[in-house]
Amino acid sequence: MPVESTAEIAEILEYETIAVVGCSSTPGKAAHDVPKYLLDHGYDVIPVNPYADEIFGREVYDSLADVEAAIDVVCIFRPSEEVSGIVDAALERDDVAVIWTQQGIRDDEAAARAESEDRDVVQDRCMKVQHRRLVA
């Protein structure tokens, strides 16, 4: 079952390193403003976007496979139909503990695959909203 309880979400928000797949360089877009908020609140945000070189003054990676640093959470800002491939890429890494799809994004089959690999999954929730509600 995907993570839904307040206690489990609060525990996930204690992780530090978040790779944001689909991170945007355009202020005003959720895929920019949410990771910026997370960065401003102490998270180590790793932008993943094959069409950008730098976001928030940080190096941007083309894919999860290109990220050399350890990743705790993969936060997905891509359409639901792209989630499956991103989850597969996350599952190829041993360090990813959580896969989080932002509000309006979900793929139940991919979530089940991730859970079968002992990864926590949060679907269709905004990380910024949950952080404000439970931490800030």
DSSP assignment string, 105-136: ---HHHHHHHHHTT-EEE-S--HHHHHHHHT-
Domain ranges for the chain, please list them: 6-134
Q: Would you state the pLDDT for residue 136? A: 81
Q: Tell me: domain 6-134, CATH 3.90.600.10, correct? A: no
Q: Which of 133, 11, 7, 116 is nearest to 73 (CA)?
A: 11
The structure's pTM equals 0.96
Q: Which of 50, 33, 43 is nearest to 89 (CA)?
A: 50
Residues of the chain with pLDDT under 70: 1
pLDDT tens-digit series, residues 96-133: 999 999 999 999 999 999 999 999 999 999 999 999 99
Task: Indicate the helix (H) or strand (E) that contains 19.
Answer: strand 17-21
